[in-house]
Amino acid sequence: MYKTHTCGELRGTHAGQTVTLAGWVHRRRDHGGVVFIDLRDRFGLTQVVINPNLPKETLDLVSNVRSEWVLQITGKVQKRPEGMQNPKMPTGEVELIASDVVTLNTAKALPFMISSDEEVDENMRLKYRYLDLRRERMRRNLELRHAVVLFMRTYLSERGFLEVETPSLFKTTPEGARDYLVPSRVYPGQFYALPQSPQQLKQLLMVGGIERYFQIARCFRDEDQRGDRQPEFTQLDLEMSFVHRDDVLEMVENLFTAMLPTVTPHKKLLSSPWPRFTYDEVITRFGSDKPDLRFGMELNDVSGIFAKSEFVVFRSALERGGMVKCIVAPGCAGYTRKQLDELTVTAKELGAKGLVTLALTPEGLKGSAAKFVGEAELAELVKMTGAKTGDLYLFVADSAKLVHKVLGALRVGFRDTLKLADPNVMAFAWVLDFPMFEWNEENQKWDAAHHMFTMPRLEHLDRFETDPSSILSDAYDMVCNGYEMASGSIRIHRRDIQSKVFTLLGIGEEEAQRKFGHMLEAFEFGAPPHGGMAPGIDRLVMLLADEPNIREVIAFPKNQAARDVMADAPSPAEPKQLKELHIKVSD
């Protein structure tokens, strides 16, 4: 080894020992004669003292040293003089009095400082990710990620789960995104698809008798980028045989509940056991299928109160079969015209025709629609919502779908503006009883709400021909702080049911055979009942690390335009490669 100790290791008890450290020059301070170097490695920082009595070559070398040079320094550990100790540094009690300094490598002037937390343009950080990784923030995040994955591996292994790798070169495994395709050189015009998840493979492992499987699995989905999306991302993929829904939920809930105090002791669960909601309930109460439960501001259905309203906005929505709902923003009665206009713009961007706001002031309701709210209506409104003087009502009157979407989003907006949610609280919950199918307006067809391998409720099987929208599935989501953390389901393990689902989704016999013939056949060889789920690891670590997006917890992410700006990928292929792959590029 180039070093006898790490840069984070030395304490008062090492005083008097001769040691060798190796690492990067974090800071160098020249005090005219004595030079101080903070030497850094992954484990910490140690202050090194270069005294002027060292040989001239050493002093010359040290005078040339710049930030991020790589040095090997031998010397004697000494307690820092009284008053010079730094209690903020784990090694702050000691310093290393150098006797020998070796340059292991030099470094050019850096595009940004490693030793400070200054904000750096993200594309610059990604272009020089290997430098960014030397910074405290990224190191901390990768350490946390490691702790999370290690905990999962150990916990599951101790409970009889086998970690099994599944291929990346496979066949289309739809999860609702586009596939990434890999052309085959050997079979002209044929392609592998990178799996959008190992869904089919883990089900086939169940058919293979593995019974309890997990994998830290890479998933590939070609979809539009957003803050918490990447073309490739990582899931804790799980599957279990001979289980019912609650067995899977319990397993995962126990894993996460046990993990939290180990990896992030400062994060607290909002409630244990985790609350369970039906899909309908979260939509009605929070306007979202991934509710943030750390604060109130629930949606109130005030359609009944305004059933006979003169106010045309409310009346016409109700007459068209819609609804009127409101949320109450605490202490926001004093919002200015400009602030209210901004809220209206947001509501309209989300599809609402408008937003009705009413301030509850000491003098009563204020706002352009106030004159339409009678005394009795106001009393009922206050009773139902629990609003207080100084609060602001926000109403949306429209179809149920739109009302929930708009108020749900405004609710989350207020969370951020009013800082209503404690970042150290993890509000995990289960959402259950999802509809099996969603009507796709654009393509005029049914889509699977979770995925096409999810088991529909057996008691709803006779509704396939009559009323597909009312079929519920055995799918479940794990949500936390406004994010979907995992989806899962009990799966279809019978060929006849899988065929029924394919037919409803518009996948004909021939296409089903071509794409999923292996699944259908496997179900005919004694497939056990099974189910599972797949918590997203990037998103989980992002939340635990209080980071705003998943790029901060991935060592080498793509940027928001799905490019690797460090290696510059994607990039054109060599003509020879294209020829071998039987590919002609058109514009």
Q: Please report whether residue 243 would count as binding ligand ASP according to CB under 6 A.
A: no
**Spatial separation of the C-alpha atoms in residues 40 and 67, rounded to whole Å:** 11
- Least CB distance from residue 326 to ligand ASP, whole Å? 34
**Quick one: 201 or 504, whose CB is closer to ligand ASP?**
201
For ligand ASP, give the closer residue by CB, 372 or 453: 453
* Whole-number Å distance between alpha carbons of 480 and 252: 13
Nearest CA-CA partner of 252 in 270, 240, 266, 267: 240
Interaction mask 402-431, ligand ASP, x per CB under 6 A: ------------------------------
Output 134 or 221, the one with its CB closest to ligand ASP: 221
Instruction: Tell me how far, at minimum, the Cβ of 564 lies from ligand ASP, in Å.
Output: 23
Can you say how many angstroms the Cα of residue 222 is from the centroid of all Cα atoms in its chain? 17
Residues 6 or more apart from 218 whose CB is under 8 A from it?
A: 168, 232, 233, 234
Helix, strand, or coil (residue 47): strand
Closest CB 450 distance from ligand ASP, rounded Å: 6
Q: How far apart are CA 69 and CA 91, in angstroms?
A: 21
Minimal distance, residue 146 CB to ligand ASP, in Å: 23
Give yes or no for residue 540 binding ligand ASP (CB under 6 A).
Answer: no
Q: Which is nearer to ligand ASP, 39 or 543 (CB)?
A: 543
C-beta closer to ligand ASP: residue 410 or 534: 534
Judged by beta carbon, residue 214 or residue 295, the one nearer ligand ASP is 214
Q: Does 197 bind ligand ASP (CB under 6 A)?
A: yes
CB of 207 to ligand ASP, least distance (A): 16
Q: Give the nearest residue (CB) to ligand ASP.
A: 197
The correct pick among 512, 533, 553, 565 for binding ligand ASP (CB under 6 A) is 533
Least Å from the CB of residue 539 to ligand ASP: 12
Looking at beta carbons only, is 252 or 381 nearer to ligand ASP?
252
- Name residues whose C-beta falls within 8 Å of residue 235's C-beta, 6 or more positions apart in sequence: 197, 216, 217, 219, 486, 534, 535, 536, 537
Which residues lie closer than 8 Å to 6 by C-beta, 6 or more apart? 21, 41, 42, 43, 44
Which part of the chain contacts ligand ASP (CB under 6 A), choosing from 282-290, 302-310, 375-383, 530-538? 530-538
Nearest-angstrom CA–CA distance, 76 and 271: 52
**Nearest distance in Å: CB 533, ligand ASP:** 5
| Closest separation in Å from C-beta 487 to ligand ASP | 4
Measured from the CB atom, is 101 or 251 closer to ligand ASP?
251
Per DSSP (E only), the strands in 386-494 are 392-398, 425-426, 428-432, 437-440, 445-448, 475-480, 483-490
174 binds ligand ASP, rule: CB under 6 A: no
Q: Reduced to 3 states, what is the DSSP secondary structure of residue 135?
A: coil
User: How far apart are the two ends of the chain, measured CA to CA in Å?
Assistant: 54
Residue 534 found at the interface with ligand ASP (CB under 6 A): yes
Residue with tokens 């045309």: 312
Q: Which two tokens stand for residue 342?
A: 């901004």
Nearer to ligand ASP, 22 or 255 (CB): 255
Pick 255 or 305: Cβ nearer ligand ASP: 255
Q: Report the residue from 141, 264, 487, 498 that binds ligand ASP according to the rule CB under 6 A.
A: 487
Query: Using CB under 6 A as the criterion, what x/- string covers residues 490-529 for binding ligand ASP?
Result: ----------------------------------------
**What is the nearest approach in angstroms of ligand ASP to the Cβ of residue 270?**
24
230 binds ligand ASP (CB under 6 A): no
Detail the DSSP E strand segments found in 411-537.
425-426, 428-432, 437-440, 445-448, 475-480, 483-490, 530-535
Least Å distance between CB 537 and ligand ASP?
A: 12
Q: Which is nearer to ligand ASP, 452 or 541 (CB)?
A: 452
Is residue 561 within 8 Å of 225, Cβ to Cβ?
yes
Cα separations (Å) of 403 from 9, 394, 439, 444?
58, 11, 19, 23
Helix H or strand E encompassing 283: helix 279-286
Q: How far is the CB of 252 from ligand ASP (least distance, A)?
A: 10
Interface residue with ligand ASP among 141, 166, 199, 385 (CB under 6 A) is 199
When the beta carbons of 132 and 175 are compared against ligand ASP, the nearer one is 175
Angle of helix 509-522 relative to helix 199-207, nearest 10 degrees? 40
Rounded distance, CA 145 to CA 545, Å?
9
Ramachandran region, residue 546 (left: φ > 0; alpha: ψ -120 to 50; beta: rest)? left
Binding-site member from 175, 179, 292, 398 for ligand ASP (CB under 6 A)? 175
Q: Rounded to an integer, what distance in angstroms lies between the CA atom of residue 131 and that of residue 113?
A: 9
Part of the chain binding ligand ASP (CB under 6 A), chosen from 56-64, 369-377, 434-442, 531-539 = 531-539
532 is a contact residue toward ligand ASP (CB under 6 A): yes
Is the Cβ of residue 326 or residue 534 nearer to ligand ASP in the bound state?
534
Around Cβ 379, how many Cβ atoms within 10 Å? 11
Among 489, 498, 501, 565, binds ligand ASP (CB under 6 A): 489
CA distance 269 to 481: 11
Select the span of 11-19, 483-491, 498-506, 556-564 touching ligand ASP (CB under 6 A).
483-491
How many amino acids of this chain bind ligand ASP (CB under 6 A)?
Answer: 9
Residue 40, strand partner residues: 24, 45
- The alpha carbon of residue 215 and the mean position of all alpha carbons in its chain are separated, in whole angstroms, by 18
Where do contacts with ligand ASP occur on this chain (CB under 6 A)? 175, 197, 199, 487-489, 532-534
